[in-house]
Amino acid sequence: MVRLPVVMMVIATMAAVVPYTCRSITTNNHRLHPVILVPGAGGNQLEARLTSDYKASSWLCNRWLYPLKKDEGGWFRLWFDVGVLLAPLTECFAERMTIYYDRDVDDYRNAPGVETRVTQFGSTQSLLCLDPSLKHITSYMEALVESIQQLGYKDSQNLFGAPYDFRYGLASEGHPSYVGSTFLENLKQLVENASNANGGNPVILVSHSLGGLFALQLLNRNPPSWRKQYVKHFIALSAPWGGAVDEMLTFASGNALGVPLVNPLLVRNEQRSSESNLWLMPRRKQFPVETPLVVTPDSAYSSFDISRFLTDIGFEEGVYPYETRIMPMVEELAAPGVPVTCIVGNGVPTAETLYYGEDGFDKQPEIVYGDGDGTVNIASLLALEDEWEEEKDQKLKVIKLAGISHMDILKDDKSLARIIDEITTINSDISSSSLASSL
C-alpha cells in the first residue's frame, strides 16, 4: 500500500515549498519534549548484503554483478535505489526484498542468502530521503524534519528517528515475531534514552502511516506506568487503523511503486510476501460485511472474506499467517491512555471497490473511488473515534485536512503548519511532568 509511491513523491516534492522561516528564539530548548519520528512502510532506507547462499534467479541478479557498488562489508542500499525501476533490475530487487513465512518456526524470515539491516537507528538521517543520490525526488520526511528543527530541535539530541525493516510486522500474542519485536524493544530503549537525555521529559511520538500501528503496539505492550513516565503525547499522521482497500489491490495485482514504467506484476510476489502488508488488509469493524470491496464476475469479497480472497488470487500461503497472527491482533485497538492526536487528509479520491473483469487479477481493475487520503479510506483513518468512544480516560483529537493526500501530509505547508502547531501546543502545556514534578 502504503509503501511509498516514488513518483508521487517527485511531484509532491516539486510542489511543496518548505517554509524557511527564522528559527524561533522564544523556545527554551531544554523544556522541549523530545520528538521521535516513526516512519511508514518504505519510509526509511534498508541495506542488504548477499551471501554465498543467495541463489539469483537470473544471471543479471548474480551477487557479483548487481549491484556493482557495495561497501567493504558487501552492504548496499536495497531500499531504495532508483536503478531498480529498470525492468530487469526490478526482478533482482523483488527477489531480494521478498520475505518468507516459515511454518516450522511460525515466523517470517529473509530470502536465503539475503541479510538486511537498518542503519542509523536513533537518527532522522535515513528518513529524510530514500535514495541519497537522488535526494529530491526520493525525499520523505525531509520537510517535516526541517520544520521541527525550526522549533529548536536538533537531530539525535531531542529529535530522533526510528527506522525499521518495514516488510515485517508484529503478531498476536503467543506468536514469535523476531524482527518486529526487536524493533519495538529498540524503540522502547530509544524512548527511554531520549527522555533520560532531556531531563526526564517524556517524549512525543510522531508517526506516519504504518508507523502509527507500531507506535500504538509499543504503548499497549508496555505497562501504563511506563507510558505515563515516558510518553507525553502520540501524534499519528495518516494512520491506517482499519487497513485499506488499496492493500487488496496490491495483493491481487501488484503496486507499481507509483511509477508508470514499472510492471506491477514484477513486484507482486514480493509485496504479497510482506507481513506488514497483510497487517493492512481492511479490518472488519471499518468495512462491514455487506460492503463488497472486490468484485469479480464470479464472486464478491468483503473484509470478512480476506482468507477466501487470498486463496482466489493465488496466494494461499498467506491464509494461515493472516488467520493466526494478524486477525487476532487487529481485532484489538486498545486505548493507551496517552493523549493521541490523529492528523489525516480527506477528500482525496481513494479506492473503495475494485471491479475485476474476465481476465482475472493480473489485469488492473476498474476502481470506484470514495473518501480518504488517496491511499487509506476515511473509515480507517477515523477508526479510533468509534473505537474509543466509550473510553472516558482517553484523550483523542482528530484533525482533518481537506485535500491532503497520504504523502502530502509530510510536505504540504498547511499540513506542516498544523503538525508544528500541535507539537508547540504540547510543549507549552505547563502541566507537563517536568514542571509539575519540580513543584
Ligand X SMILES: *[C@@H]1O[C@H](CO)[C@@H](O)[C@H](O)[C@H]1NC(C)=O
Which chain residues interact with ligand X by CB under 6 A? 122, 186, 189-190, 193
| CB nearer ligand X, residue 181 or residue 307 | 181
Least CB distance from residue 122 to ligand X, whole Å?
5
Say how far apart CA 432 and CA 439 lie, in whole Å: 11
Strand partners, 207: 38, 236
Residues with catalytic function? 209, 373, 406
| CB nearer ligand X, residue 180 or residue 264 | 180
Distances (CA, A) of 134 to 18, 225, 284, 435: 18, 44, 40, 44
Least CB distance from residue 160 to ligand X, whole Å?
8
Least CB distance from residue 224 to ligand X, whole Å?
22
Say how far apart CA 169 and CA 103 lie, in whole Å: 16
The strand ranges marked E within 210-281 are 231-237
| CB nearer ligand X, residue 160 or residue 361 | 160
Least CB distance from residue 197 to ligand X, whole Å?
9
Stretch (H or E) spanning 50: strand 46-50
Least CB distance from residue 123 to ligand X, whole Å?
10
Q: Could you give the residue ranges of the DSSP H alpha helices within 324-382? A: 327-331, 378-381
Say how far apart CA 49 and CA 295 lie, in whole Å: 41
| CB nearer ligand X, residue 189 or residue 263 | 189
Confirm if 187 and 162 have CB atoms less than 8 A apart: yes
Q: Within 10 A of 64 (CB to CB), how many other CB atoms are there?
A: 8
- Laid out side by side, the sheet with 396-402 consists of 159-161, 35-38, 203-208, 231-237, 340-346, 396-402
| CB nearer ligand X, residue 165 or residue 270 | 165
Burial (CB < 10 A; 0-12, 13-18, 19+), residue 434, is middle
φ/ψ of residue 401, rounded to 5 = -115, 110
What is the 3 state secondary structure string of 17-81? Answer: CCCCCCCCCCCCHHHCCCEEEECCCCCCCEEEEECCCCCCCCHHHCCCCCCCCCCCCCCEEEECC
| CB nearer ligand X, residue 203 or residue 293 | 203
Least CB distance from residue 141 to ligand X, whole Å?
19
